């Protein structure tokens, strides 16, 4: 907790699921002098998350909700300059915002779905990273220069039918994380990737365009991870000693051993 004290943490996609849990977990772990910048498109939901965090941990944590669509390059460009001074000295960026749309197979995949997945999961993540890196680089080569934590997926390692675009976006995240770590070798900036398996969030509801019954069927007979399970890992890697880079992690629930390799209770 001491190592996180006084840090400014930016989380994308903090209105739901893993990102929301990451916000709570940072606040619980370092309830004194932490600054959290919570971003997503649904600002009302972010405001509720911010209020709940302060209700739970008190006002030692300063929470700033910011409406931000990471798939919109203009909004990303305006993000850092638009932050109040006291929230601009960012230490950790958690690139979590992401989504899957549909289970269509080529050549039936909607162009709109292809674009929204790539623009959010890949271009959005890259643009956010580039927006924040100058702040980290200005800290020079001292330890603790800054952390980029990218949320990938098992889907980026093991592509599956009906997920070609989503899987390709997560493979791109993985490739970008690895290149970036190499590009930043002369700095003390840490690039860390966390790849979850099955986590029950709004992910499947979004995949099935709001059809809750179809989303529930994904988890029937399964015992999926909770978003808190992943949040604990995110906060763990951010809290390691400055010279420790948890470069790469893969986290499954116990009934999963690959993308779509799930043991379901009948």
Kindly list the catalytic residues. 166, 170
Contacts of 250 (CB under 8 A, 6+ apart): 154, 157, 195, 197
Per-residue string for binding with ligand 8X3, 116-155, x by CB under 6 A? -------------------------------------xxx
Residue 201 binds which entry of ligand 8X3, ligand NDP, none, with Cβ cut-offs from 5 to 8 Å by kind? ligand NDP
Q: Which stretch binds ligand NDP (CB under 6 A): 9-17, 48-56, 83-91, 231-239?
A: 9-17
Distances (CA, A) of 21 to 17, 38, 44: 6, 11, 17
Cα 116 to Cα 154: distance, rounded to the nearest angstrom:
20
182-211 residues near ligand 8X3, rule: CB under 6 A: 198
Distances (CA, A) of 226 to 199, 229, 231, 252: 5, 5, 9, 11
User: Which residue number places its CB atom closest to ligand 8X3?
Assistant: 153
Q: Is 127 in the site for ligand NDP (CB under 6 A)?
A: no
Q: Is 97 in the site for ligand NDP (CB under 6 A)?
A: yes
Cα 118 to Cα 61: distance, rounded to the nearest angstrom:
33
Residue 127 binds which entry of ligand 8X3, ligand NDP, none, with Cβ cut-offs from 5 to 8 Å by kind? none
Residue 104 is encoded by which pair of tokens? 């269509």
Would you tell me which residues interact with ligand 8X3 (CB under 6 A)?
153-155, 163, 166, 198, 259
């Amino acid at each position: 907790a001491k190592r996180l004290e006084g840090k400014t943490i930016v989380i994308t996609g903090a209105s739901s699921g893993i990102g929301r849990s990451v916000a709570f977990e940072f606040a619980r772990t370092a309830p004194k002098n932490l600054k959290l910048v919570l971003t997503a498109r649904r600002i009302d939901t972010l405001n509720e998350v911010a209020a709940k965090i302060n209700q739970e941990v008190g006002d030692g944590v300063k929470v700033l909700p910011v409406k931000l669509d990471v798939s919109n390059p203009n909004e990303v460009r305006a993000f850092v300059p638009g932050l109040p001074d006291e929230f601009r000295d960012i230490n950790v960026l958690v690139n979590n915002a992401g989504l899957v749309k549909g289970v269509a197979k080529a050549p039936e995949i909607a162009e709109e779905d292809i674009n929204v997945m790539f623009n959010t999961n890949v271009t959005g993540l890259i643009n956010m990273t580039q927006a924040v890196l100058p702040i980290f680089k200005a800290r020079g080569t001292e330890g603790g220069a800054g952390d980029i934590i990218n949320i990938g997926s098992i889907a980026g390692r093991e592509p599956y039918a009906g997920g070609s675009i989503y899987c390709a976006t997560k493979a791109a995240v993985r490739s970008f994380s690895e290149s970036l770590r190499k590009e930043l070798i002369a700095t003390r900036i840490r690039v860390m990737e966390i790849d979850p398996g099955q986590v029950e969030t709004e992910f499947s509801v979004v995949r099935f365009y709001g059809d809750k019954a179809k989303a529930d069927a994904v988890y029937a007979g399964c015992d999926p991870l909770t978003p808190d399970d992943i949040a604990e890992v995110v906060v763990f890697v951010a809290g390691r000693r400055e010279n420790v880079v948890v470069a790469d992690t893969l986290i499954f629930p116990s009934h999963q051993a690959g993308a779509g390799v799930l043991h379901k209770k009948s």
